[in-house]
């Protein structure tokens, strides 16, 4: 019996066959390429979040050496997060990211992206499985409001994210908070037993940061009460976050 022997054997043309396999795997969705997260820092804010974005982009971000950033306006589609190495969401107004959009954002972070959530913004990300990383039906946890404020503890004073934050004032006025994050899985840098004022959450290769205060409001209080030097500590935390090169590996 005659047996046809193809001259295109893998052993003779390894590069050609490797290319064919790449195309097949990519077409069938079996190959998932790791996408490098590059680009500037994107700032997003709606409602009072616009005031926060304006403060951060005019008074904080320009002081971070070499930082490229962009004011993205009042909203940023989940698919567009990949255009930025870091996204800062200062306020969503009445907007929310659907379960599908939240999954896109989570994938962005797992591939190396970073996300900063300010005050109430965590409630804008709905969980895909009824619990999410922070439980409570929100992907990152839910925010809690303390009408009379709550005194906070510095749990990780040596953490690089807090470097220089207490150089001017060991117990600054902003250690009392009215809004914090109820996130069970967060690394609690500053907060109380059950809530986070400043924290970090790791997702794959990326990180999420939480900042419970709105900086523009702190600035008003600092000026009114003569606490401008203490405000510099909070701003320093922002600078530490914005200037981070790549997320630390676990």
Topology of domain 38-242 in CATH is Rossmann fold (3.40.50)
- pTM value surpassing 0.85: no
Q: Which residues of the chain have pLDDT under 70?
A: 1-37, 128-137, 246-250
Sign of CA dihedral 132, 138, 139, 143: negative
Q: Where are the domains of the chain?
A: 38-242
**What local confidence, expressed as pLDDT, does residue 87 receive?**
97
The pLDDT of residue 249 = 47
């Amino acid at each position: 019996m005659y047996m046809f022997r193809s001259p295109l054997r893998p052993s003779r043309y390894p590069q050609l066959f490797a290319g064919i396999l790449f195309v097949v795997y990519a077409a069938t969705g079996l190959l998932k390429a790791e996408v490098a997260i590059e680009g500037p820092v994107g700032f997003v804010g709606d409602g009072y979040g616009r005031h926060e974005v304006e403060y951060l982009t005019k008074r904080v971000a320009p002081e971070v050496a070499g930082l490229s950033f962009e004011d993205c306006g009042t909203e940023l589609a989940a698919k567009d997060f990949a255009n930025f190495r870091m996204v800062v969401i200062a306020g969503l107004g009445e907007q929310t990211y659907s379960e599908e959009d939240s999954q896109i954002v989570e994938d962005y972070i797992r591939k190396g992206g970073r996300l900063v959530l300010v005050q109430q913004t965590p409630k804008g990300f709905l969980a895909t499985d009824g619990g999410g990383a922070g439980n409570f039906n929100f992907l990152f946890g839910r925010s809690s409001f303390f009408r009379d404020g709550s005194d906070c503890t510095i749990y990780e004073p040596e953490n690089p994210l807090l470097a220089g934050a207490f150089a001017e004032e060991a117990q600054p006025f902003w250690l009392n908070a009215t809004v914090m994050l109820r996130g069970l899985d967060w690394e609690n840098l500053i907060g109380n037993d059950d809530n986070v004022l400043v924290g970090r959450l790791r997702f794959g290769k990326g990180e999420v940061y939480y900042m419970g205060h709105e900086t523009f409001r702190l600035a008003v209080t600092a000026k009114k009460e003569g606490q401008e030097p203490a405000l510099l500590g909070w701003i320093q935390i922002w600078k530490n976050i914005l200037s981070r090169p790549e997320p630390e590996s676990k």
